Chain A
Amino acid sequence: MQLPVLNNVPEAKSGCAASSCGSTDSQIDSLPDAIREKVQNHPCYSEDAHHYFARMHVAVAPACNIQCHYCNRKYDCANESRPGVVSEVLTPDQAVKKTMAVAANIPQMTVLGIAGPGDPLANPEKTFETFRRLSEEAPDIKLCVSTNGLALPAAVEELAKHNIDHVTITINCVDPEIGAKIYPWIFWNNRRIKGVKAAKILIEQQQKGLEMLIAKGILVKVNSVMIPGINDEHLAEVSRVVKSKGAFLHNVMPLIAEAEHGTFYGVMGQRGPTPEELQDLQDSCSGDMNMMRHCRQCRADAVGMLGEDRGDEFTLDKIEDMDIDYQAAMEKRKVIHAAIQEEMDSKRLEKAQKAEAQKQAERMTTRPVLMAVATSGQGVINVHFGHAKEFLIYEASPSGVRFISHRKADAYCSGDISCGETESTLQRTIHSLAGCEAVLCSKVGYEPWEMLEKAGIMPNGEHAMENIEDAVMAVYREMAKAGKLTAENAPIRASA
């Protein structure tokens, strides 16, 4: 696979999926109606929905049946945010209580997932007991599960029984030789199996499980971890294979590897991809597959909107004291969900009309630009630069505005050359916006304003509370008018 050349304009590529091009098409608009219906309020499956709806994970599944080189079960820590990390493991009973407490207090929470901290299907009793009770006691919550796939074929029947219509399988490869570099061992048929043989069995079970789920009409999303030099060039093939078998969404996530996590990749110095490498791979897969770009790689006990974690408000001792009237909560949730849905529908319609108008307007020939946006949801610019914990990255081009990714503002620093320990939080934040030419937020202070300008990133606080895509397009037009968008003054792509 050849990665696209720098500054390749996606619209020029053949077969570019409607999902990834232009302001007309949100990431789920190209899906068949039946699937869109199912995912329109699922923050993990729909980019649109993640601005409005929240999710939670309950950590009922501590055991795992495989080892991945990016995971370490030993150093789980409250301050880390990555899959496989939790503060407390719950019993199914505690998990049900917690879910209902969250649903009552965060009514926009629509989805309950079981994602670990081990593998949910390696803990079948706890996982299915939680699902069974929730499907009875909280029928307005969507249930989903995330698995490595090894025990999936044996669990498909049971999953279908509990009304689980969303399953995520982590598939990092379809080639056992590559798999052997990602998975050191699996536990299979009462033995620990290593190397290529282990990877071969895991891949077979993942693919078989995928086919069985599709045959049952269960929606399947595939997660892949992008590991430079290991599977980066292979993931376009993975994307093709899983799409041909019926997976509806592919989520390529960057490897998280720090020595202090004690993982194989962290300790051995395996690097993660740069934002540019990740975007290039996602773009190269998007011709064949519907790509997810808004994943926050959340913890196995995360609670809230995708960018946030409100787990601290719902610890075991706190939910113990909460008295939940779920029937009343359900009524309230119904009203709130309907209102959100109405707002989303009208925005979608408005967007389509604007896009139509834009098609009629004179075609610009300017180059694409990346912009960072500070938002806490509702699809508007509503966060102060200094308060932003993350930025959403959008690309503006003559064909419209498209969502690219998110970047953490307070990204931890491992003290390497590109991110020295002396760097202030502000400098790190600006560093994390490398490649962006503007940052849109509700307000920017004087000091960051100057530093942003110096870094070649234009601060902009003029579009507070405005719709993100409209604001990005407005700034893009201003830049075009000012003559900033000719090919000659394109920025050199940073490798940060």
Chain B
Amino acid sequence: MAVKIIESCVNCFACLPVCPSNAIYEAKPHFLVDAKKCTECEGAFADFQCASICPIEGAILNSFGEEINPAGSLTGIPPEKMAEAMAELQAH
């Protein structure tokens, strides 16, 4: 039972101090979660602390491998709108 930080992490440090179990550590190319230490905040907080401050959609997965903050949930940008903008950018 542990969350996982994946490659879309931008190394912003926000999650590191809010983890109640000191399970998050700085690593290259991105921060990682020590699965042995992570408790998914059970007994401490109602919500995953790391995923509650993380600004990047999709960067943290739950123990089922699902994105805790799916696309559009934090920025409010509809995913298709974002895809459109990025495709436009690629074309240039």
Query: Which residues of A are at the interface with B, using a C-beta cutoff of 8 A?
Result: 62-65, 67, 69, 72-74, 76, 89, 118, 122-123, 184-185, 187, 190-192, 259-260, 262, 264, 266-268, 415
Does B65 reach chain A (CB closer than 8 Å)?
A: no
Cβ contacts under 8 Å, B6 to chain A = none
- Assuming the contacts A69-B76, A259-B89, A267-B77, asked whether A74 and B14 have C-beta atoms less than 8 A apart, the reply is no
Between A62, A89, A267, the greatest number of chain B beta carbons within 10 A of the residue's beta carbon is seen for: A267
- Nearest to B52 among chain A residues (CB) is A192
Contact B55 A184, beta carbon cutoff 8 Å = no
From B13, B45, B75, B86, contact of A63 by CB (8 A):
B13
Does B39 reach chain A (CB closer than 8 Å)?
A: no
- Assuming the contacts A64-B14, A65-B14, A67-B74, asked whether A191 and B56 have C-beta atoms less than 8 A apart, the reply is no
Contact B12 A63, beta carbon cutoff 8 Å = yes
25 pairs, CB–CB < 8 Å, chain A vs chain B: A62-B14, A63-B14, A63-B16, A63-B17, A65-B53, A67-B55, A69-B76, A73-B10, A89-B11, A118-B12, A184-B74, A184-B75, A184-B76, A187-B18, A190-B49, A192-B47, A259-B85, A259-B89, A264-B75, A264-B76, A264-B77, A266-B85, A267-B77, A267-B85, A415-B92
- Assuming the contacts A118-B12, A191-B47, A267-B77, asked whether A73 and B56 have C-beta atoms less than 8 A apart, the reply is yes
Cβ contacts under 8 Å, B45 to chain A = 190
Does B27 reach chain A (CB closer than 8 Å)?
A: no
Cβ contacts under 8 Å, B46 to chain A = 191
Number of A-B contacts (CB under 8 A): 73
CA A192 to CA B55, docked complex, whole Å = 10
Does B36 reach chain A (CB closer than 8 Å)?
A: no
Does B28 reach chain A (CB closer than 8 Å)?
A: no
Cβ contacts under 8 Å, A73 to chain B = 10, 12, 55-56
Contact A190 B52, beta carbon cutoff 8 Å = yes
Contact A260 B52, beta carbon cutoff 8 Å = no
Residues of B45-82 whose CB lies within 8 A of A: 45-47, 49, 52-53, 55-56, 74-77, 81-82
B56 to chain A, nearest CB (A): 6
CA A474 to CA B28, docked complex, whole Å = 60
Interface flags for B8-36 (1: CB within 8 Å of A; 0: not) read: 10111110111000000000000000000
CA A187 to CA B51, docked complex, whole Å = 10
Cβ contacts under 8 Å, A266 to chain B = 85
Number of interface residues of B (CB under 8 A): 28
From A123, A192, A268, contact of B13 by CB (8 A):
A123
From B13, B18, B75, B88, contact of A259 by CB (8 A):
B88
Cβ contacts under 8 Å, A185 to chain B = 74
Cβ contacts under 8 Å, B75 to chain A = 67, 69, 72, 184, 264
Contact A192 B53, beta carbon cutoff 8 Å = yes
Contact A190 B11, beta carbon cutoff 8 Å = no
Cβ contacts under 8 Å, B74 to chain A = 67, 184-185
B8 to chain A, nearest CB (A): 8
Contact A190 B14, beta carbon cutoff 8 Å = no
Between B11, B56, B85, the greatest number of chain A beta carbons within 10 A of the residue's beta carbon is seen for: B85
CA A268 to CA B82, docked complex, whole Å = 9
Beyond the given pairs A69-B76, A187-B14, A267-B82, 6 more chain A to chain B contacts, judged by CB atoms under 8 angstroms and listed by A's residue number, are A62-B11, A63-B16, A64-B14, A118-B12, A118-B13, A184-B75
CA A185 to CA B89, docked complex, whole Å = 27
Contact A64 B12, beta carbon cutoff 8 Å = yes
Contact B12 A62, beta carbon cutoff 8 Å = yes
Contact B81 A267, beta carbon cutoff 8 Å = yes
Contact A74 B52, beta carbon cutoff 8 Å = no
CA A118 to CA B15, docked complex, whole Å = 13
Cβ contacts under 8 Å, A63 to chain B = 12-14, 16-17, 53
- Nearest to B14 among chain A residues (CB) is A63
- Nearest to A71 among chain B residues (CB) is B55
From A118, A260, A267, contact of B14 by CB (8 A):
A118
A76 to chain B, nearest CB (A): 8
From A65, A72, A260, A268, contact of B89 by CB (8 A):
A260
Cβ contacts under 8 Å, B13 to chain A = 62-63, 118, 123
B59 to chain A, nearest CB (A): 9
- Nearest to B15 among chain A residues (CB) is A63
Cβ contacts under 8 Å, B86 to chain A = 262
CA A89 to CA B13, docked complex, whole Å = 11
- Nearest to A181 among chain B residues (CB) is B76
CA A97 to CA B17, docked complex, whole Å = 25
Cβ contacts under 8 Å, A62 to chain B = 11-14
A134 to chain B, nearest CB (A): 21
B50 to chain A, nearest CB (A): 11
Contact A122 B47, beta carbon cutoff 8 Å = no
Cβ contacts under 8 Å, A267 to chain B = 77, 81-82, 85
Cβ contacts under 8 Å, A76 to chain B = 10
- Nearest to B47 among chain A residues (CB) is A191
Between A190, A260, A266, A415, the greatest number of chain B beta carbons within 10 A of the residue's beta carbon is seen for: A190
Cβ contacts under 8 Å, B8 to chain A = 74
CA A192 to CA B53, docked complex, whole Å = 7
A486 to chain B, nearest CB (A): 47
CA A295 to CA B27, docked complex, whole Å = 37
Cβ contacts under 8 Å, A67 to chain B = 55, 74-75
CA A76 to CA B77, docked complex, whole Å = 18
- Nearest to A66 among chain B residues (CB) is B55
